[in-house]
A and B are shown apart, each in its own frame.
Chain A
Amino acid sequence: DVKVTQSSRYLVKRTGEKVFLECVQDMDHENMFWYRQDPGLGLRLIYFSYDVKMKEKGDIPEGYSVSREKKERFSLILESASTNQTSMYLCASSLSPARNTQYFGPGTRLTVL
């Protein structure tokens, strides 16, 4: 079975803090994704990566950056957290462009005070 894990289920941070959300997959998947989920807006793609050290902006990249130094790990970074970044963050991975089913982690509910 595919296993995608995220470092925290719940996180509370203060405005202006630097926040790291970590995601690890154990199935040698090429592609990894970060989404945020907000009520009434569904899932929106923040960034994705199709290879180590490669990254592409999604639909809402402002205020975020990412890092993929190893194939299994994809980090989402909030350089200076703001209250409008309070959300549920979901990480996903897929094997390849041809095998494009995305498998999701359990999510991190981030609250920025």
Chain B
Amino acid sequence: AQKVTQAQTEISVVEKEDVTLDCVYETRDTTYYLFWYKQPPSGELVFLIRRNSFDEQNEISGRYSWNFQKSTSSFNFTITASQVVDSAVYFCALSENQQGAQKLVFGQGTRLTINP
């Protein structure tokens, strides 16, 4: 069965520090997708990135970067020069093939607090 583990339940850093959120996954599928979502205090999950299993290139988007390593089954997320607005709960998710649709299996989330 698919599984996603986000071992860090809560992280608290001071503004402008770099912070890395860990995500480790388990799957028997050879083709799969990994996702990161952000959930700010308003409650709505915001899509950040999707990565397929054949693309191990690291991705950078502004202050956000993602490191995908199939060898360690990890898909970590780094925020550089963190800001107070980055405070949120972050979820890592893994696709799971089902009849007619692809489900997502979510980790339990990491609550990130950026202190001014």
Contacts and interface: CB of A to CB of B under 8 A. Distances in A.
Interface of A: 30-31, 33, 40-43, 45, 48-51, 54, 56, 58, 88, 90, 92, 94, 97, 100-107, 109
B13 interface: no
A104 B109 CA distance: 16
Interface string B35-61: 101000011111100100000000000
Contacts of A97: 97, 100-102
B33 A100 contact: yes
Nearest to B9: A40
B30 interface: no
B10 to A, nearest CB: 11
B72 interface: no
Nearest to B42: A106
Contact of A105 (B35, B44, B98, B103): B44
A51 B100 contact: yes
B42 A100 contact: no
10 contacts: A31-B102, A33-B103, A33-B104, A40-B108, A42-B91, A43-B91, A43-B106, A56-B100, A97-B101, A101-B50
A49 B108 CA distance: 24
Contacts of B71: none
5 closest A-B pairs by beta carbon, nearest first, are A50-B100, A104-B45, A100-B102, A50-B101, A42-B108
Max chain A C-beta neighbours (<10 A), residue from B37, B44, B101: B101
A90 B102 contact: no
B101 A103 contact: no
